[in-house]
Structure 1
């Protein structure tokens, strides 16, 4: 939190350089033409004319860190502009007019108040919990250090007009810039000095020194590194050695008891040993930057680095060569090695052009502030990727303008190793992802709702006051269009009918020998958690696919978890399904934090016994983590990976139908797995399919995703139905679509698949939404071992046995003999004591 925020005007040019060193600056709109653009600044809009979204976006793209908007603009911008880029301008009398949507859609508030009333400001801070609070007094009363400190103590920051700031002494009408900056900073040292870390522009430590009020003031005003020697008094760095410093920024730490100076160091270095840092020689990128600067000035003729500086064509060729090497590297070691080479040559070009690492970081920071994003597609000249090693055939034509094509292999000519490669999916780095989600899961386990609310604000960008919605659900949260409601109702009916038929409501009874009756009966899993991916997406289909079998199985508690939207609400379509399936709670959270809440429970989130549902790699990793934690005592439905489809097509296949089926899976994501197995297809037939893929893809809104996933997908040529099905069984796809003559007759040959779609009029989409089967299916080849989600997934089976006296006479000796064989005397005794009782 900055000590204060200066609000500058046209007449503030004299104090601008000093203020630019100590934190963000607030500028009014329109921006004063006499002032340069600050390193960090907010733009204050006080007029309440109609909002121009494009203009606001252009401000943010140009580098404005936050826009302070009037209340009248809020509803137009919230939900479109990220909350962390918006502050709300409020008169103190208007606080009660702020809705939850507005409150959750901004990162803070600028409160205009006639007086600095700490109690009032504290209550506003509670209303805007978790947001930054800034205060602008509308009176002419000047700011004072005590006022700055008092506001900081309640988590608020004072906005000070430029007319009240001065580089001279603090007076009855103005406060000295350095006095305002130092107001909340205190020292716990007997000598009153502030420990000060001195760093480069890029944050690499040069040394530890001490500062005094006087030295900080001089640094702020002059822009030079000035510190306080504990032995010799005021120390102007480089005054005698020539190793001077230009101060870039000065800031306090989180406890306001120490400082950081970021500087541009001149001369031999910061350390008295003529090194850059007091903590030893520089390493990594800072060391490389220093070396390259030195070589630019003094590299001997004929040296390789000198050649690079002098030969632009050679340097360009090396950058392109190393970029290619990095693209085709696969192992962690190779990737780091090739990335290091690329960084070396790229930084050589930068140093030759006078560009520093700090310049690069400033460019990165500026790009990060942009709201408008480019599509991010490759330029046409890079649309074809260079060849990669045979062990990992490279996808081709993943540009923006090239043809959308799949790679082709022929089963009659590939080697066994190449065939195995065709069956290979991308490696899922489970260990890496589990290590990333573990702190999130642990945080929710230990801190419950508090952690869940913080993580939801961080990852889902929604500021909530509660985590769970309990039934009865408010009717206004389930308002959906009539046609959507009717579609959901029909899908619900179909899916319920199919899953109800799967329920095991019978008791299996078998008399294994006279007087020995064994039985098995089903019981529902009591408490289940259903994860429905969402946030900006609307996925009522997944809620149906998970909620209906849970409902049919008779689960007592059904907790549905889904990420909230930016305003903290859940999509009405998902809420309507939650109502239909009888959900006992709706958890407004996504990602690993939602999985953790379901696994361990919190103050408000019920703990569950089994977690179901698809999700991204964070969700998958969290599910894998909690199922192995005995403290959670929770199971999961199945492992998960990217979505996938395998289509088998023969001479009867309609090219348009085949292409549509391939694309319906390819649009899920760039990592979707799409395979076409063609049985003796003529070149003309294959060309027609590929042409349809391209034509249909170009008409899709998600063409950029499709272009990448199709570019990594494969066509496999087979010589017979049997060969095609054998390949499919080895691949074990999530979805198998059969465009075959007499396709239904081939189904008995299918051994491994999540779900099978038989014939030309059975698109995968029907199974995804409403035919009745479940779309939560095993991926990544797990169809060899796992079934898709079904009603039995929500049931468990219990066995029982009942033995009569005569039955024990026949069975007992067998049991006692086996127990003796294993050396378990108590087991044998439990039988023999009963047999002896019968004899007596």
Structure 2
């Protein structure tokens, strides 16, 4: 039951997070930022917006619960969209304009009215019998608790603009969110408490408790489970035991006399007997989920579940095997048996990927809200009829099909402008979803510091540590590397340092803008920087070099290098070797979002930094985006990040083997790598040579399975001229651009957008990755239009100064005072005039 509908007419993330706990939120259709995936959303379409069917369908397909539409839209949509998804937007004086067809084609109405008249609303509700009535007043005064109760009493719900809501105390201009929510709740108990059912995100009961107005208010505002003990007063769940709760939603029942809290339960469980539920141990899917999560963290080596988590090929095979057996089962008992097996392996796959039952249910709910439907036909490889009388046959996977590894080809002369635009697009990054996933991790480290870091490192990196940070001097035995590797690192260090030293801004810019007015600009290093180096089982000293050297050259006082530990708790000696070379002041043994959080906020042992650099997976990227927008963190980041990219431009002079090798050098990074070849007037034979080289070289790689997928999604764009190729490249803005062109160096002057350019046949991208001197931390996802790659200036900031002489004051002072007067800033003008008078 919704007590009120908030109209989110201004940006306030903290308020939105609170409102999402207690019911749907209404957003105006003019909103430009994405709708939150964590909230139930209504979209209010303004009267002035022209009808566009695709726009309405897009909102609904993207998870909007209901559209609130003006009469003109309703007339177009009622034949196409379920009435349950539509509400009618109507001025209170226009009831007579609504036909029976429209009234029956919507599930409710939102009435706009200058002031709320309960008698008028009650009479209108009779016209819309059986429909939901929502009321939006244009008054600047928020509804009182009595008015909210009055509306609910006649079956209507107030719509309250967010500008009239607050998380602070209720005033004459704003009503506290919790006060509004509590307006209708009543108790039939002598102690005035409300029975409260507490359940998991998926609706499985944890226990029965009691709430008071005070406890509900605190839960709404903090997002934590808070209840009222009949003996001890306010009960903040987990305050002493650590078994805390994050509140997902709070709902009133139909009689407004009891509550349901849906929560994420942490710790041993809800019950004082250290069980998840007061009603006994869980069973079925929740029990399976709990078991699999425990096994993911601590399953013994050699156990079957451990094998499944560590061997994705085995797990894939089992899922396909059990799906096939379920399809062949006919008897009720057999179907249940095979379905249970399939659920087990499928949920194992989900837990390994960080997906829980609540995530699956949320996905099902989103799909149920779609109004456009696919045909539902099976893919060709599954659509052939099987002879069920035969024993099950093994199903070939795509990895077993030894087909040529090919890119997709497009001719720029034959495609439309819209298709050209589509070729420039990268995969959609679901940053909002990832940020919501990393936020609990970041919040945990922020709140509990080193204790959280140690727990999360044990969970995600399987390393049980006693301390999180290593400080110099680093033990010699932690930096022992192969002599050849050590020599290679030293050469790379020298080249990278030489190039980055040349970039350092050590001079002061001084300009006398007019007589007596001298303006200056000078550089200072960012004092404390955090460098994230992906690792764990991988060894990435190159990233440590690329981030550590410019920090060292810029003169940063503290250089904190963060990298995931190996299972034995150690850091790869190559990374430690580089940490020593670049003068790291600390090495944080942590990865993922937890490392980013530690760098951003600091812990008992981890120094807080001012800026975070470095690549990482989507968890790291999302955490960096989250902390940079938190004013409490006061931390910035180097740049947005996405999958690795390369764009190669090749003409008739190109060596097919070189081109193929360059394409594959990026394709092996991951299945989401972005690889583009622009073929400049190449004949069919030349292009076939390149494609054949890609196939032959790919099959010789140990990461051929990854390459097969990334190359399969990669593209060849055929163009007629170098000029046309460079225009396309500038529009694409690649991370790495490789020029296999006649007189390649002459074309560099025309490159406007690229992270780094590799000129000519003997300049593979690998040189930039390791040792030529340029930096390999570069903008991806098209951000080369706006961002530079990491460089020495990334670790410096510029400060301006000005010094005005007495004669300069007399000349410029009246001008400044005039401009201050123009803006109505008297104190600014006075600061000048008081000096002129002196």
Query: TM-score band, normalised by the shorter chain?
Result: 0.5 to 0.7
Counterpart CA distance in 2 for 1:568 and 1:207 is 37
Counterpart CA distance in 2 for 1:518 and 1:261 is 72
Residue aligned with 2:752, SS: coil
CA contact (8 A) 1:649 1:738 kept: yes
**What residue is the counterpart of 1:781 in the other structure?**
782
Cα distance 1:254–1:383, how it changes in 2: closer, same or farther (>3 A)? Answer: farther
Is 1:706 equivalent to 2:707 in the alignment? yes
When Rg is computed on C-alpha atoms for both structures, the one with the higher figure is 1
What are the Cα deviations for residues 210-253 of structure 1, in whole angstroms up to 9, with x where unaligned?
xxxxxxxxxxxxxxxxxxxxxxxxxxxxxxxxxxxxxxxxx997
**What residue is the counterpart of 1:255 in the other structure?**
273
Counterpart CA distance in 1 for 2:442 and 2:576 is 26
**What residue is the counterpart of 1:728 in the other structure?**
729
Cα distance 1:561–1:701, how it changes in 2: closer, same or farther (>3 A)? Answer: same
**What residue is the counterpart of 1:445 in the other structure?**
446
**Displacement, 1:403?**
1.0
Is 1:355 equivalent to 2:346 in the alignment? no
**What residue is the counterpart of 1:472 in the other structure?**
473
Is 1:494 equivalent to 2:495 in the alignment? yes
Counterpart CA distance in 2 for 1:461 and 1:207 is 30
**Pairs within 5 Å for 1:643-662:** 643-662=644-663
Residue aligned with 1:502, SS: coil
CA contact (8 A) 2:326 2:339 kept: no
Cα distance 1:566–1:344, how it changes in 2: closer, same or farther (>3 A)? Answer: closer
Counterpart CA distance in 2 for 1:760 and 1:742 is 11
**Displacement, 1:360?**
3.2
**Displacement, 1:728?**
0.1
CA contact (8 A) 1:735 1:757 kept: yes
Counterpart CA distance in 1 for 2:624 and 2:207 is 45
**What residue is the counterpart of 1:420 in the other structure?**
421
**What residue is the counterpart of 2:46 in the other structure?**
none
**What residue is the counterpart of 2:586 in the other structure?**
585
Counterpart CA distance in 2 for 1:407 and 1:801 is 58
**What residue is the counterpart of 1:608 in the other structure?**
609
**What residue is the counterpart of 1:640 in the other structure?**
641
**Displacement, 1:255?**
1.9
**Displacement, 1:623?**
0.2
CA contact (8 A) 1:397 1:404 kept: no
Calculate the TM-score normalised by the size of structure 1: 0.57
What are the Cα deviations for residues 309-353 of structure 1, in whole angstroms up to 9, with x where unaligned?
xxxxxxxxxxxxxxxxxxxxxxxxxxxxxxxxxx99997765557
CA contact (8 A) 1:737 1:763 kept: yes
Cα distance 1:469–1:358, how it changes in 2: closer, same or farther (>3 A)? Answer: farther
Residue aligned with 2:456, SS: helix
CA contact (8 A) 1:520 1:799 kept: yes
What are the Cα deviations for residues 790-825 of structure 1, in whole angstroms up to 9, with x where unaligned?
000000000000000001111101100100000000
Counterpart CA distance in 1 for 2:464 and 2:613 is 26
**What residue is the counterpart of 1:97 in the other structure?**
none
Counterpart CA distance in 2 for 1:413 and 1:574 is 49
CA contact (8 A) 2:600 2:610 kept: yes
4+ residue runs over 3 A deviation: 203-209, 251-254, 256-264, 343-370, 381-386, 396-400
**Pairs within 5 Å for 1:566-577:** 566-577=567-578
**What residue is the counterpart of 2:520 in the other structure?**
519
Counterpart CA distance in 1 for 2:771 and 2:552 is 17
CA contact (8 A) 1:384 1:399 kept: no
Cα distance 1:743–1:801, how it changes in 2: closer, same or farther (>3 A)? Answer: same
**Displacement, 1:401?**
1.4
CA contact (8 A) 2:206 2:271 kept: no
Counterpart CA distance in 2 for 1:792 and 1:385 is 55
**Pairs within 5 Å for 1:102-113:** none
**What residue is the counterpart of 2:811 in the other structure?**
810
CA contact (8 A) 1:753 1:783 kept: yes
Counterpart CA distance in 2 for 1:415 and 1:346 is 46
Cα distance 1:632–1:383, how it changes in 2: closer, same or farther (>3 A)? Answer: farther
Residue aligned with 1:412, SS: helix
Counterpart CA distance in 1 for 2:533 and 2:543 is 6
CA contact (8 A) 2:326 2:338 kept: no
What are the Cα deviations for residues 467-516 of structure 1, in whole angstroms up to 9, with x where unaligned?
00000000000000000000000000000000000000000000000000
Counterpart CA distance in 2 for 1:740 and 1:521 is 41
**Displacement, 1:208?**
10
What are the Cα deviations for residues 108-156 of structure 1, in whole angstroms up to 9, with x where unaligned?
xxxxxxxxxxxxxxxxxxxxxxxxxxxxxxxxxxxxxxxxxxxxxxxxx
Calculate the TM-score normalised by the size of structure 2: 0.57
CA contact (8 A) 2:442 2:623 kept: yes
Counterpart CA distance in 2 for 1:783 and 1:757 is 15
Gaps of 5+ in 1: 1-196, 210-250, 265-342, 374-380, 387-395
**What residue is the counterpart of 2:793 in the other structure?**
792
**What residue is the counterpart of 1:696 in the other structure?**
697
Counterpart CA distance in 2 for 1:675 and 1:548 is 31
Counterpart CA distance in 1 for 2:380 and 2:474 is 51
Counterpart CA distance in 1 for 2:283 and 2:702 is 48
* Residue-pair matches, total: 500
Is 1:504 equivalent to 2:508 in the alignment? no
**What residue is the counterpart of 1:67 in the other structure?**
none
CA contact (8 A) 1:658 1:739 kept: yes
Cα distance 1:552–1:353, how it changes in 2: closer, same or farther (>3 A)? Answer: same
Counterpart CA distance in 1 for 2:509 and 2:336 is 73
Cα distance 1:207–1:779, how it changes in 2: closer, same or farther (>3 A)? Answer: closer
**Displacement, 1:254?**
7.4
Cα distance 1:809–1:385, how it changes in 2: closer, same or farther (>3 A)? Answer: farther
What are the Cα deviations for residues 725-745 of structure 1, in whole angstroms up to 9, with x where unaligned?
000000000000000000000
Counterpart CA distance in 2 for 1:589 and 1:792 is 27
Cα distance 1:252–1:471, how it changes in 2: closer, same or farther (>3 A)? Answer: closer
- Bigger drift between 823-832 and 354-363 goes to 354-363
Cα distance 1:253–1:361, how it changes in 2: closer, same or farther (>3 A)? Answer: farther
**Pairs within 5 Å for 1:18-417:** 255=273, 260=280, 350=329, 352=331, 354-357=333-336, 359-362=338-341, 365=344, 400-417=401-418
**Displacement, 1:362?**
3.9
Cα distance 1:206–1:548, how it changes in 2: closer, same or farther (>3 A)? Answer: closer
**What residue is the counterpart of 1:42 in the other structure?**
none
Cα distance 1:350–1:636, how it changes in 2: closer, same or farther (>3 A)? Answer: farther
Counterpart CA distance in 1 for 2:341 and 2:736 is 47
**What residue is the counterpart of 1:596 in the other structure?**
597
Counterpart CA distance in 1 for 2:451 and 2:796 is 33
Is 1:766 equivalent to 2:784 in the alignment? no
Cα distance 1:204–1:503, how it changes in 2: closer, same or farther (>3 A)? Answer: closer
**What residue is the counterpart of 2:681 in the other structure?**
680
CA contact (8 A) 1:400 1:704 kept: no
CA contact (8 A) 1:423 1:730 kept: yes
**Displacement, 1:367?**
8.6
**Displacement, 1:207?**
12
Gaps of 5+ in 2: 1-196, 209-268, 285-321, 353-377, 384-396
